[in-house]
Amino acid sequence: MLKVLQTLGKSLENTFGPKPQVEVLETSRHKVYSVNGLPVLAESEGSVFPTLVFTECLSRLPKVFVDMGAVPHVCNGADIMAPGLADVQGDFEEEDLVLVLDERNRKPLAIAQSLTNSETIRTMKKGKAFRTLHYVGDDIWSATKEAY
């Protein structure tokens, strides 16, 4: 958890106070970390990433906008394909986290991990660009909505 916060330019104490209360909720596929009652981070297959309700953290991530045709697929857990990309904002490297939003409403849909760098992704015409880690409607989303 500390590593993720450091990557995002945050400190545990500055973000959550001097004595945060941390709880871990396990779903069928993930661990969700709640700090002071707010489900802020999740873990899956060795990757730790912010949940979609941790808005303070999400604002620091590069943003990837998908066209409206891709939205239903992303909300069902599909990886992000190059043809569905409408815009890429910010710079990132391979394996960095990005926030996936819909192009029309600019609403967060998912947290994904890049499969290559931003420069390459901006020129891609086909293929998979991002691996989806967490999306609206998944078990993390359900757990965070129950807790939040």
Q: Count how many domains the chain has.
A: 2
Are residues 15 and 69 both part of a single domain? Answer: no
Helices H, strands E: what count in the chain? 6, 10
Residue 71 CA to residue 106 CA, distance in Å, equals 11
Are residues 125 and 107 both part of a single domain? Answer: yes
From first to last of its 148 residues, what are the pLDDT tens digits of the chain? 555 555 555 566 667 777 888 888 888 888 998 888 888 889 988 888 999 998 888 999 999 999 999 999 999 999 999 999 999 999 999 999 999 999 999 999 999 999 999 999 999 999 999 999 999 999 888 877 665 4
Structure pTM? Answer: 0.87
- Could you list the residue range(s) of the whole structural domain that residue 9 is in? 2-57+139-147
